[in-house]
Amino acid sequence: MADAPLNWIAMIDCLSRTRRFVDPASRPVSFAASEVRIVRPAVIIRACGSLSRWRSKQQRRHSMMELYYGAGACSFVPHVGLEAIKAATGEGFEPRAIKLHKGEQHSPEYLALNPLGLVPLLVVDGKPLSQILAICDYLDRRYPQAGLLPADPWQRAQAMSTFAWMNNTVHPTFTHIFRPGNFAEGEAAQTEVKRLATEKFRGHLERIQVMAEKAAPFLLGDKLSFVDAYALVFLRWGGLAGIDPASLPGYRAYVERLAAVPPVAAAMAREGINLETYRK
Ligand SMILES: N[C@@H](CCC(=O)N[C@@H](CS)C(=O)NCC(=O)O)C(=O)O
């Protein structure tokens, strides 16, 4: 086949951006018109293909996501989200375990990243983002193809309403059980805080059970979402608070199904957690 006439300026521009052809450390290349050879289209196509592969690799390299999480903590919610994103898009993340029981969240290195001393923390290209709702909103907007929140504005608002209730009501109720010392002084007062919070927490779990009994198969319908991951966390926490999951059979059956869904199972395996947390 005869060589086709080509726009050689576009070709040189394309090639000069491709590492395979030009050493990035070298000075900019200049060409005299007489030095330019006409090249077959196939060569150009190969060069541009390799340029675009190199660019995607650079983009991935420049878009590193790290998740700081504690095993069994609320950070499980974005953890499941990131596993779902990995399954849907191939985009990976770096998991960074923080041992909450050893107080690693209060280390100077971690406080430099998150002065709140809490997990989860998502670090994107070195920039930290805290708060579950903000992290999950960011992940969903960046990777809508993972379907972690509904696209329809009204359905999304309904989902956010449940998600916000979980984050601002159910979650802090458990904090009163787990860390009563943050809310009252003296043993008797703390025991009372714990007792009252456990009662309220059970009420919240009963409300989630009503939702779980309608799950089809997930709380928001046919797609796994952040609220499913939160629901699993709460049933596990309930067990730690002495709430027998057998007393919430609809909720337990839904969580058992959920635990087998690949992104959920992957996050559980990494965190080394299971559903057997109940103790009297
Ligand atoms: N409002 C925060 C709550 C985060 C939070 O309470 N994280 C807990 C784990 S579930 C934590 O890091 N606790 C560490 C500590 O209390 O020292 C969010 O939405 O991210």
Pocket flag, ligand 1, residue 114 (CB < 6 Å) = no
Share of the chain above pLDDT 90, in %: 77
65-144, CATH topology level:
Glutaredoxin (3.40.30)
Provide the pLDDT for residue 40. 63
Q: Where in the chain is the domain with CATH 3.40.30.10?
A: 65-144
Q: Which two tokens stand for residue 171?
A: 């979650």
Integer Cα distance of 214 and 18 in angstroms: 54
- Backbone φ and ψ for 41, nearest 5 degrees, come out as -55, -35
Which residue's alpha carbon is at the smallest distance from atom 2 of ligand 1? Answer: 131
Atom of ligand 1 nearest to the CA of 103: 17
Beta-carbon contacts of 37 under 8 Å, excluding residues fewer than 6 positions away, are none
Ligand 1 contact via 118 beta carbon (within 6 Å): yes
The pLDDT value recorded for residue 90 is 97
Looking at beta carbons, which pairs linking 250-255 to residues 24 or more positions away fall under 8 Å?
A: 250/209, 250/212, 250/213, 251/205, 251/208, 251/209, 251/212, 253/212, 254/212, 254/213, 254/215, 254/217, 255/212, 255/231
> Could you tell me the pLDDT band of residue 49, with boundaries at 50, 70 and 90?
low
Q: Which residue has the tokens 């319908």?
A: 221
> By 3-state DSSP, what share of the chain in percent is helix, strand and coil, each rounded to 5?
60, 5, 35
Which atom, in ligand 1's list, is nearest to the CA of 135?
20
According to the model, what pLDDT value does residue 25 have?
39
- pLDDT score for 3: 41
Asked whether 255 lines ligand 1 (CB < 6 A), one says no
Threshold 0.75, pTM exceeds: yes
| pLDDT score recorded for residue 41 | 60
Residue 213 pLDDT greater than 60, yes or no: yes
Instruction: List where CATH 1.20.1050.10 sits in the chain.
Output: 150-271
Task: Give the pairing type, strands 127-130 and 65-69.
Answer: unpaired
Q: Is the predicted pLDDT of residue 249 greater than 70, yes or no?
A: yes
Give the model confidence (pLDDT) of 169-193 as tens digits. 999 999 999 999 999 999 999 999 9
Q: Which of 27-36, 50-59, 153-162 has the highest mean pLDDT?
A: 153-162
Distance CA(269)–CA(280), nearest Å, equals 25
DSSP assignment, residue 167?
Answer: I
Query: What is the spatial distance between Cα 130 and Cα 67, in angstroms, rounded to a whole number?
Result: 10
- Predicted pLDDT at 23: 36
**pLDDT above 60: residue 206:** yes
User: Please, which pLDDT band fits residue 58 given cuts at 50, 70 and 90?
Assistant: low
pLDDT on residue 39: 52
Structure tokens at 204: 């919240």
For residue 97, how many C-alpha atoms fall within 13 Å in the half-sphere facing its CB?
A: 11
Domain spanning 150-271, CATH class: mainly alpha
Q: In what order do the strands lie in the sheet with 127-130?
A: 94-97, 65-69, 121-124, 127-130
The pLDDT value given to residue 279: 85
Does the beta carbon of 146 lie inside 6 Å of ligand 1?
Answer: no
Token duo for residue 158: 């309904």
Over pLDDT 70: what percentage of the chain?
78
For 87-117, write each residue's pLDDT tens digit: 999 999 999 999 999 999 999 999 999 999 9
| Confidence tier at 63 by pLDDT (50, 70, 90) | confident
In angstroms, the CA 13 to CA 36 distance is 13
Query: Is 167's C-beta closer than 6 angstroms to any atom of ligand 1?
Result: yes
**Atom of ligand 1 lying closest to residue 131 CA:** 20
Cβ 73 under 6 angstroms from ligand 1 = yes
Q: What is the biggest distance separating any 2 CA atoms in the chain, rounded to whole angstroms?
A: 92
Question: CB neighbours of 82 closer than 8 A, spacing ≥ 6?
Answer: 65, 67, 93, 139, 267
Residue closest via CA to ligand 1's atom 3 equals 131
